Structures are given as structure tokens and as C-alpha cells.
Structure 1
Amino acid sequence: MQNKDKKNIVLTGFMGTGKTTVGKKIAAQLNREFIDTDDLIQERQGISISEIFRQHGEAAFRQMESDIAKELGKREGLVISTGGRLMLDPANVEALSRDGRVFCLIATPQEILSRIESDNEHKRPLLEVPNPGELVIELLKERQKGYHRFQKIVTNDKQPDEVADDLLEIFQDDPKRFSIDHPAQPYEYVVGSGILPFIRQLAGVTGTIVVITDTAVQELYGLSCGDVDHVIAIPVGNERKTLATVQTIYEQLIEIGFDRSGTIVALGGSLVGDIAGFVAATYMRGVNLIQCPTSLQAMADTSIGGKTSIDLPQGKNLIGVFKQPSMVIADVATLQTLPAEAFSSGMAEVIKHGLIADSDLLEKVENGNWHHEAGTLFTSLFDVQALVAQAIQVKIAIVQEDPFDHGRRFFLNFGHTFAHAIEQVSGYSICHGKAVAMGMVAAANLSARLGHCSADLQESIEEKLKKVNLPIRIPYLSSQLLLKAMENDKKRVGDIIRFVIPSRIGQVFVADDVDQPAILATLQEITDSNGQTE
């Protein structure tokens, strides 16, 4: 990656989000030249943007923006504030992000309108309409996908100095690197913000790179992976985790002439990581793999340890193989585009790691602001990066101690025996993270019922889950069907159902002598007969 002392800082976003004000403050702090693309165009044309639109039309103005983007993209050490639509053009994105870090400033429509109305210095010809508020909402919705590909900085209720400090904290913070000492293949886990465009540089890859992703992630980040050669996108949906999907990918790899010298990049959530990992493990007896998780669950859990699997109609993850990546690259900026429900779902795995081994991680969860709504994460990316870094260290330590899943690594299944049954019996209408949250509550209830922990432990776990909007009760599902699903769980040994249950926070153990009445009693106690989950 380029020295950040020379890398341009590019600010984009809707009008009124503070790009110019914040950009000038950052430039002053870093002793850099500040350039506002709108001001530069007006200076060179000798007329205002309104006049440019009136005399030459919008197409001519957009071409001026494109020319400016190409010009500034060849320079370094700048702070650049762009017009609101400039970075919606992929060619401009490519020009300015090649040697620049792009940040998107965002604010609510109400905040934007308030700032624009009080700004007497800049005229906004676009908003000279009878109802500018409605137009702001419409334009924000129209541009949402374009803005989502960049690191977002929330400017609501913040002074420009605070926004500048937040941005510089992210810009100046180096990615965190963690070594994973695995006997099959040691590798690094790199977590940072805005690092997705530098996959090739971070991993030191010189050959062909093929990105395997899904269509939703492709739309958001397919153009943000830097120097890659091909992108293969599969349809979204858990039902795609099949051998048929794997075969389709094999055929596309053969068609493009992909061979054993190439690298597969798994870009997406846990499902994409599983499919792409399985393909990398089996295509031509194995090719190089880089995991680039874009969901919190994948970052904190499934991208580490090398497990890959495919589903069968009879059950989840019944076909699988270990495939260690050569590197995991986790860009926490991608978490900003997760639906709120998916972010909360990932927090279940973070809390699980804290309950297994790390009470400090639980304090971070309890004390942090993890508010997420409408595709916007309202906490600092710096805090998110710290959360992910601490969560992955728990799993790294366990995987290094038990790389082939013969002992302590089984502890990572805390809550999962119940969770997999809940998923299956619900017809997978309950997502994995929510099922794990319910499963951890059930595991604590079962442990207390068997006399292994205090009854207060269940309440403590429930409070932590509620903090991040996770459910603590199972919606009405048949206890008998749940028990039957557990009996078919791949973690069973013969007729024995194995549970990971807690004795206290930071300590869990395997119980494999649990009788059916105790399991059924737990299921009945934490199942909400009214269908509510909390």
C-alpha cells in the first residue's frame, strides 16, 4: 500500500454533509493542499456552476468533472472535496481511488436541509424547486448504492472538528495484523478500514486473481477490489450452497483458463466464504485462497480456521474440507452496508467469543454504541475495527491450539447444537446469528438446570444479547421436532447429543451425558408460545 503521507484524501457525499468545511480542516492539520472540484471548475470556466448548467448543459459539466478527476488522480498529497455526483461515475472512482482513500460524509435529510438553508455562501441550483426536502430524500435514495461503496463518516450532531478528527483517526491508523500459526499453512489476518482496494498488494499476489462473490456484494464492492482479473458472482440465497453452484463456478474457471498459479478471493459473507473456499480446495486439487469477509459473522468467525462446506437436502454442512487461506483481509468499512439485522446477527458470534474466553470483549460490547439502521452504522469505524480485532483473537488462539478440531475448538460450538436445530425446524426462516443467540440462552438454561452454573448466568447473557437487538426466546417451534433435529446433528457421537454449556462467563465445557427430559424442559421453558422472540 502507498505511503499514507502521500496518498490523497478524497471526500464525497451529498451536498451539505460538510465536505468542504471538513476537508479544509484536514488539509490544515496535515499541511496539505485543499481542492474543491466544484470551485476548481468554476475558477477555470470563469462562471458559476449554475451558469455552466444554463449555458452548456449538465453533460458538459459532467465531462469537466471527469477531466478534473483524471487530472487530480495523477497527483498526490491532496485533500479533495468532490461534487455530490462526481464519485457516482465509476470512471471517476477509478481515477481518484487508485492513489487515494475515499471517505463518504453522510447526514440525515433533515440535517442536510438545515445546513443548506443556513449556507449563504454557496448556491444550490439543484434544490431550486418548490419542495427541496422531498428532492433531498429522493436524491439520497437514488445515490445510496453509489455512496455505499465508500467508507462512511456520519456527520450528524457533530462539529466539523470532531468529524475531521474521526476521519484522520481512520486514515492514520494502520491495518492490524495477526499471525495464525497453522500446521497446514501459516497465514495472516489483516483487519483495517478502506483496505479492500489493496488485496493484491497486501497479499503479495502476482498471478491471476478471480473474485468469487454474490450478486448483492458484487453491486456494492465488485469495483472496489483493486487490480483483479475476473469476478464470478452467484445468486444470493442460502439455497445456493450446493454442489450445483460449485459445478457452475468450476465451469466458469475452466472457461477463463484459470489454473493452479492463480488465486481465488472469497468476497462476501459466510456463505460465499464456504462456497469459494470449497472451490479453492477442490479445483485442480487446490489453488491459493484469500478470504475477504464482508459480514461481521464472517469476519469474527467463519473466515478463520479453514472450514469450508456445502449443504445437502438432508442437512447443513454435510460435505466439507479444510482449506486454509493464504491471508484473510477484513475491511470493516464493508460492514456499513450490512442490513441492521445482519449486523446484529454477527454480534451473536462476537458475544459468543466473549462468553467463551474474553470478558474484556464483553465490556466492549456493553459499553459501545452499535446502533445500526437503514444500512448506516452510527459508531466509529475505528471502534468497529477494534471490536473485530479483539473478537478474532479469541478464535485465533483456539484454532492455533486445536487446528484440526479434535479438542478445545469444539467450544466454538457454544449455543450451536440448539441453534442448528432452531434453524432447521424453522425452515431456515430464523437466521444463524439469531439462532445462536437463542441457543446460548438455552445452553445457559440447561447448564443451570444440570447444576453447573448459577441461574443468574442466563439473565446476564440475555442482557448482553438484548443490548445488540438479538432475541432471547425461541418463537414457537415444536420441542419434539427440535430434539429430533439435534439427534441428527453432525456433532453427535453415536446416540449422544453433545452440548457446549457454560459454568461461568469465560468458561465453557462439553456435556455429553444430558438426558432427554432435561433438554425438553429447557426447550419448553425458553420457547415463547405466543411466537415472540424476546
Structure 2
Amino acid sequence: MTEPNIILTGFMATGKTTVGKLLAKHLGYSFVDTDQLIVERSGMPVAEIFEKKGEPAFRKMESDLAEELGSKEGLVVSTGGGMMLDPQNASALSRKGQIFCLVATPEEIFDRVSRDTHAKRPLLETADPMLQVTELLKQREKGYGQFSQMRTSAKTPDEITSNLIGIIRANPDLRLSITASDTHYDYIVGGGILPFVRQLAGINGPVAVITDKNVGTRYAESLGHTDAVITVDPGQQNKTLSTVESVCEELVRKGFDRSTTIIALGGSVISGLAGFVASVYMRGVDLVQCPTSLLAMADTSIGGKAGINLPQGKNLIGAFIQPKAVIADVATLRSLSPEEFSSGMAEVIKHGLIGGKELFERIKAGNWEWGKGSFQPSSFTGLQDLIAQAIQVKINIVQEDPFQKGKRALLNLGHTFAHAIEQASGHGLRHGEAVSMGLIASVNLSCRLGHCKEDLQQEVETVLTGSGLPVRIPARLDTKKIVQAIHRDKKRKGEQLRFILIRDIGDVFIGENVPKPEVTDTLEDIKEKS
């Protein structure tokens, strides 16, 4: 049985050696400190190597050691602060290991270094070591940011070790890094990882879970110890200011302060509602998204948008709040109904239309209708990879445009129509069902305006219906009401209607000032014939 290595990296004085020794003891692994091993083999301290042979010689020693250790197993490796900034070293050590980056504040690092009178730090031999610490951290921020982060400030070595052991035992199958604005967090996908949310997200302090009555009954206890579970009624009709007020009042009654972390446990409604609460409670507290529906996993839990509804339309009140982490336990998908699963597939297909032919062709070739053919709730072969591919499409766009000032608007493909259809139906349709209709409307409108070929609509319809989704607007819905709702859409500019249009798979764009008669004709064209 293999024993994958654990590699601890990060800036000096973040606790790599102390935590590494404790971790090795708990796991029964051998401990290796790369700096110490280099000292032993060279017969001189690191500072002397820098002085006599120069930094390039030391970095060569690190590279040779990375190749050597990367072929072994059962190790906890504590690396020098700059070792993993070399992509070749990171690649060598990650072949048989999982990398964690320990981080601390500049002030705490400086304090630890100042108290350690035995260690000589060549890189801090300057007139202003505190300034040097700050500058080096800034230079290395991007390099360290590629690894899973574990904050060590205000934690004991035992607490850090315990958190790492929890993460290792959870063994998530996939970890995607997201960098948006000045924030870095991980999107973690796995099966049976809900009990390890605290460790995976690095949560300290009190935890309040916000969930709905359906999801909370099934999964709230799986999170282990939490300080409160606040449940709300399910459904879009409850994603309102009054619900936000009642949740905030309960948080106050239970004594939650600014050190609180809110866990959003549920589907897309909870993702938006809990996110909004976290953005406004005490002027903002930490948020961890734990999506339990395919719709939330593939879309609403990513990107930091949180919103609530008004009678006039969806998400007309909102905020941006980046989570500490998104933790998706695919085991929760087993409890979805076929209709709920199909609803989520609408967002996956949307990402395929935006992201390019590879994902779209994968969806097209698969059997993703829940409960039909070979795809059953008990079989998740390929599903995690599909989710990961869809997630990556959104991550790439969100990282480029975290506050929706440009390219991120493309993620609204089909949604201007979908939100209006939802409202006209009195929210009697699932969001994904409305998105499916909205995607067809967008393709139809694009074709009507001369942007794409006519056969594209049939191709998209085939993929949507193959996932159990509707492609026609119900005959009972009033076209005039849908158009009125479109005019209230928050993405419009004054009286100009804006839609995300499509030229081909992977080629979508913002359509400005779309003629109103064409919109009406599109809605009538894709309506069920009574």
C-alpha cells in the first residue's frame, strides 16, 4: 500500500519544521527537513553555503534533493522557503505527494524570527528585516498561492497538525485553486468529505450553518460540531430581505460575532442567501460554500456573487463575497431527484457552450439523464471529471473578471431569458429548466440576428433533451409578461436590452441594443404549441 508524501512549504518561520515533525509522528512517517539535510551533506550551514558558493549553488542542491525525495514514499518533507517556487522542484515533489503551504502574517513571522536567536537567515541580513519580510512575501505570493493554504497565525502546532491530519484523511479527489482580486481559495471536490469541512477550509472560531429544511435534515449532522444550524424554508420565494433579516436576528440572539464562519449548506438558493448574509452580518464574516446540488456545484457556489430576490425580479439586491473555500461532496448528489439533477445539468451544458467544444462534446457523448440508461444514482463514473471541467470554465472567467466588469458577463448565457421565464411562471419552474429554455432562446435569437447557423439550435436542443431538460416555453406563460420581466433585468443598460449571444460552440459575446421585436419573435417561436 502506497504512503503518499506530505510536503510542507511556505515562508521561513511559518512552522514547517515543528509541524512536520509532529505530523510525521502521528502518521508514522519519516521526517525530512531539506535545509537540514543539505547542511548535513555539505558540511556547512546554509548561511555559509550562500556566502562561499552563492545562492545558485544552494538552489542546485535543492533541485537535486527534490528529484531524490520525489521518488520516495512515506515522508513528511519540510522544504526551504524558496525551494517550491521553482516549478521543477514542485513537480518532482508532487509526483508522490500532497503539498501544503503554511502561511502567517508578516508581523508574526518577524516576531518568530526575532525570537529564534540560533538560526541565521541570510535573506534577512538587511538594515530593515521587517520590510524585507514584507517585500519577500509579496514577491512570493503568486508562487505560494498555487498550493493549498494552511494559516498558522494564532494556532498552536498541535492545532495545525490536527487540521492537516483531517485534510489528509478526508482525501479529496480534486482541488482547484481560485484567485480572484486579492483573494485565494480552493474548490475541493470529493466523496464523503463533509465531516472534514473545518479542516479542509481551515476554520477557526464559531460556526453557523445556514441551510434549508430539506438539506439540513439530511446533511447538517455530517458536518460534525457546529455552534448553530439555522434552517429556512426551501425555494426561491424565500430568498428575500425578510429571510435575511430573520437569519441575522437569530445570529445575534445566539451571540455570533465577527469571528464567525458561515457555512452555506444547500443548493443555489442557500448559496445566494447565506452568501448575502455573510456579506452583511457584522459588516462581513467568513463564508464557506458547501453545495449539495449539481446546480450549485457547477455554478452558484463559484465566483463570490451573492443575491436575494425582490418581487420585481431575481437577485436585484446583491453583493460580492469570496468564500474561504468551496467544498463539494459529490455523495450529496445521490439524494437529488431526476428533475433536480437535470436542472444542474443545464448549467454544465451552458459552460460547455461557453468553454468550447471539448466539454460540449463530452456532454454530448455521455448519458447524463438521471435514472435512465447506464447512468444511475449509484454510479458516479465520470461525473466528478465532468463537474471539474465545468467548474474550470467558470473559474477561468471569474479569475479574469472577479467583479463582472467585462468577460464575466458571458456566464449569463441564457439567463436574461431564464430569469424572466422563471418570474412569469411564478417560480413554478426549476432554475435549470428555465436556463435550458433560455439557452435555446439565446441560440434562436442569435440565429435570427444572423450570428450563427440555423442547425446550431437543433444541436443544442439534442444535448439538452438528452439530459432530461425542456427546450420549449410552456404555452401557459404569457409572452408579454416575459418581455416585461426582461425589461427589469439588472443587466440592461437604460432602455437597451443586452443578451449574451452565440456564434458557435465556444464563441459567445455580449449583444448590445437587441431589437425588441426580435426578442418577442424568439419567445413565440420556441413556445409550446397549444
Question: In the alignment, what sits opposite 2:10?
Answer: none
Indicate which of 339, 343, 360 corresponds to 1:362. 360
SS in 2 for 1:365: helix
TM-superposition CA deviations, 1:157-206 (whole Å, max 9, x none): xxxxxxxxxxxxxx997421111111142111111111111001111212
Question: In the alignment, what sits opposite 2:45?
Answer: none
- Give 5+ residue unaligned stretches, structure 1: 7-170
Question: In the alignment, what sits opposite 1:431?
Answer: 430
Runs of 4+ aligned residues of structure 1 deviating over 6 Å after TM superposition are 3-6
Mapped to 2, the partners of 1:442 and 1:422 lie a distance apart of 11
Mapped to 2, the partners of 1:278 and 1:372 lie a distance apart of 31
1:380 is displaced (CA, Å) by: 2.9
Question: In the alignment, what sits opposite 1:521?
Answer: 521
Question: In the alignment, what sits opposite 2:459?
Answer: 460
SS in 2 for 1:222: helix
1:522 is displaced (CA, Å) by: 1.2
1:379 is displaced (CA, Å) by: 6.0
SS in 2 for 1:464: helix
Question: In the alignment, what sits opposite 2:223?
Answer: 225
Mapped to 2, the partners of 1:306 and 1:523 lie a distance apart of 31
Please tell me the residue identity of whatever aligns with 1:440: L
Question: In the alignment, what sits opposite 2:479?
Answer: 479
TM-superposition CA deviations, 1:350-382 (whole Å, max 9, x none): 0000001132222222233324249x9436334
Please tell me the residue identity of whatever aligns with 2:527: T
> 8 Å contact 2:172–2:193 — kept in the other structure?
no
TM-superposition CA deviations, 1:321-351 (whole Å, max 9, x none): 1111010001111011011101100100000
Mapped to 2, the partners of 1:318 and 1:174 lie a distance apart of 35
1:461 is displaced (CA, Å) by: 0.3
Mapped to 1, the partners of 2:441 and 2:310 lie a distance apart of 27
TM-superposition CA deviations, 1:19-43 (whole Å, max 9, x none): xxxxxxxxxxxxxxxxxxxxxxxxx
SS in 2 for 1:454: coil
Q: Does 1:337 align with 2:335?
A: yes
Question: In the alignment, what sits opposite 2:379?
Answer: 380
Question: In the alignment, what sits opposite 1:37?
Answer: none
Question: In the alignment, what sits opposite 2:184?
Answer: 186
Question: In the alignment, what sits opposite 1:417?
Answer: 416
Mapped to 2, the partners of 1:296 and 1:216 lie a distance apart of 16
Mapped to 2, the partners of 1:371 and 1:307 lie a distance apart of 29
Please tell me the residue identity of whatever aligns with 2:511: A
Indicate which of 214, 217, 240 corresponds to 1:216. 214
1:318 is displaced (CA, Å) by: 1.2
Mapped to 2, the partners of 1:204 and 1:295 lie a distance apart of 23
1:212 is displaced (CA, Å) by: 0.8
- Cα 1:172–1:487, aligned 2, differ >3 Å: closer, same or farther? closer
> 8 Å contact 1:333–1:381 — kept in the other structure?
no
Question: In the alignment, what sits opposite 1:146?
Answer: none
Question: In the alignment, what sits opposite 1:443?
Answer: 442
Question: In the alignment, what sits opposite 1:297?
Answer: 295
1:519 is displaced (CA, Å) by: 1.4
Please tell me the residue identity of whatever aligns with 2:429: I
Mapped to 1, the partners of 2:171 and 2:201 lie a distance apart of 19
> 8 Å contact 2:313–2:485 — kept in the other structure?
no
Mapped to 2, the partners of 1:198 and 1:173 lie a distance apart of 10
Q: Which TM-score applies when normalising by structure 1? A: 0.65
- Give 5+ residue unaligned stretches, structure 2: 5-168
> 8 Å contact 1:355–1:505 — kept in the other structure?
yes
Question: In the alignment, what sits opposite 2:50?
Answer: none
TM-superposition CA deviations, 1:385-418 (whole Å, max 9, x none): 1111111000000001111101010001111111
1:240 is displaced (CA, Å) by: 1.2
Mapped to 2, the partners of 1:5 and 1:266 lie a distance apart of 34
CA RMSD of aligned residues (A): 2.1
Number of residue pairs aligned between Structure 1 and Structure 2: 363
> 8 Å contact 1:371–1:379 — kept in the other structure?
no
SS in 2 for 1:494: coil
Q: Which TM-score applies when normalising by structure 2? A: 0.66
Mapped to 2, the partners of 1:199 and 1:311 lie a distance apart of 29
> 8 Å contact 2:170–2:192 — kept in the other structure?
no
Mapped to 1, the partners of 2:328 and 2:376 lie a distance apart of 17
Please tell me the residue identity of whatever aligns with 2:399: Q
